[in-house]
Amino acid sequence: MLKNCIFRFGVLSLFVLNAAPSFGQDWAMKMFDKDKIDFGVIARGSDAEYRLKIKNIYKDPVHIANVRTTCGCSAAEPSKSILESGEEGYIQVKMDTARFQRRKDSNVIITIDAPQYAEVRIPITSYIRTDVVFTPGAANFGSVEVGKGAETTVALAYAGREDWALTGIESRNPHVTAKAVETNRGGGRVNYNIMLTLDPKTPKGPIREQLILKTNDVNFTTVPLLVEARVESDITITPEVVSLGMMVPGQEKTVNVVMRGKKPFEITKIECESNDEAFKIRMPKAAQPIHVLPLTIVPPDKPGEYSEEFTVTIDGRSEPITFKAFGRIAETKTN
């Protein structure tokens, strides 16, 4: 009897392993958009950050158990620890440009323990200049309302050659413009104010770009400056894309959607794009600045990827607000 139990356990274990995405570490690496991170040449004191994108391309949820780096010069953390099937996230990697200088090499190590164990190692490299300092470390416009635009200034301090100068500025985003104004020169030191403008016509959404400052330095011809902003409407939705995860046909599932306004607002109607009639939403009855909407789905018998787009009509607002939900519906088993 004991031998039979051991044999059956062994067969079950083999079955479970074969049901996992694949053997080895390759299955986990396939979820990341990069296999290395190169910050290039960056200024001392600058905000040097990179978002390593990860997408769960498998049917089972992926659990990120731990994220660490191999050097104190860098740090990393995940945007979320669980990724449902089809869901995206990122690993935020940041260099410590205040305490460290010159060439720095390290690794970010991501440990995954579900649906099976894997450890992904991504190399990180950078060169932190000692002669250029930004204050503050990035150009952050913060939250900007659609149609308003914004301005911000970053101070650049250089110590070294008498004739060092900025020769140009390259913006990769057409809605972000910048100019450099020299404020001081002498004694081997040069100071500039980098004045940035965010166009009022900038579309809604996050901005995360690098402004490239060109110099007459033959060894390090450019210096990157991180630019961040979040252009938002007067009413925002969290999350912007609702993850429904893995669903079973006929089994009810509820997630919350939060709508925030700068002032109280009333929701008059919420509509679905499809005709599935799979969703139910409890409508709020009064105007208030924050609405928590319980979104309930009874998944239809449509195995595979499933998505829905919602249109929210606000009293007194000409433009409706839209958001999407996505998930995966499991196949129904038949005997």
Q: Report the pLDDT value the prediction gives residue 17, as an integer from 0 to 100.
A: 36
- What pLDDT is attached to residue 290? 92
Q: How far is CA 254 from the centre of its chain?
A: 24
CA 159 to CA 131: how far, in whole Å? 5
Same domain assignment for residues 113 and 71? yes
Between 1-15, 195-209, 307-321, the lowest mean confidence (pLDDT) is in 1-15
What pLDDT band is residue 156 in, cutting at 50, 70 and 90? very high
**pLDDT for 169-215, tens place per residue?**
999 899 999 999 999 999 899 999 999 999 999 998 889 888 999 99
φ and ψ at residue 108, rounded to 5 degrees: -105, 130
Whether 31 is in a domain gets the answer yes
In DSSP notation, 93-121 reads EEE-TTT--EEEEEEEEEEEEESS-EEEE
Q: What is the pLDDT of residue 24?
A: 56
pLDDT at 155: 96
Express each pLDDT in 277-302 by its tens digit.
Answer: 888 888 888 899 999 999 899 988 88
Mean pLDDT of 121-126: 93
| Runs of H (alpha helix) within 96-203 | none
Task: Flag whether 4 is in a domain.
Answer: no
Q: Classify residue 2: in a domain, yes or no.
A: no
- CA–CA gap between residue 208 and residue 201 (Å, rounded): 17
H/E stretch holding 46: none
- What local confidence, expressed as pLDDT, does residue 20 receive? 42
Residue 331 sits at the vertex; the CA angle it makes with 328 and 332, to the nearest 5 degrees, is 135
What DSSP line would sit under 251-316, residue for residue? --EEEEEEEEEEEEE-EEEEEESSS---EEE----S-EEEEEEEEEE---S--EEEEEEEEEEETT
Q: Sheet containing 267-272: which strands, arranged edge to edge? A: 241-247, 321-329, 304-314, 267-272
Which CATH number does the domain housing residue 309 bear?
2.60.40.10
Tokens of residue 182, six digits: 């020299």
Q: What are phi and psi of 92, to 5 degrees?
A: -85, 115
Helix, strand, or coil (residue 12): helix
Tokens (6 digits) for 266: 């009333």
pLDDT at 7 over 80: no
Residues 277, 281, 282, 287, CA torsion sign: negative
Does 9 map to a domain? Answer: no
Range of the domain at 227: 138-232
pLDDT of the residue at 23? 47
Q: Which residues contact 173 (CB under 8 A, 6 or more apart)?
A: 207, 209, 227
For residue range 22-59, list pLDDT tens digits in order: 445 789 999 999 999 999 888 888 888 999 999 999 98
* Pairing, β 118-135 against β 150-159: antiparallel
Provide the number of structural domains found in the chain. 3
d(CA 239, CA 167): 42
Domain end: 101, 130, 159, which one? 130
Q: What pLDDT is stored for residue 15 in this prediction?
A: 35
Report the pLDDT value the prediction gives residue 333, as an integer from 0 to 100.
61
pTM score, whole prediction: 0.65
Residues 197 and 243 in one domain: no
Integer CA distances (angstroms), 108 to 18, 226, 278, 282, 298, in order: 28, 21, 42, 43, 40
Is there a single domain that holds both residue 153 and residue 125?
no
Res 25: pLDDT: 72
26 plus 84 within the same structural domain: yes
Same domain, 213 and 248: no
Output 324 or 4, whichever has higher pLDDT.
Answer: 324
Question: Helix %, strand %, coil % for the chain, to 5?
Answer: 5, 60, 35
> What mean pLDDT comes out for the span 133-154?
92
- List Cα–Cα distances, 84 to 120, 126, 258, 259, in angstroms: 19, 33, 20, 23
Indicate the DSSP class of residue 8. Answer: H
- Within a domain: residue 10? no
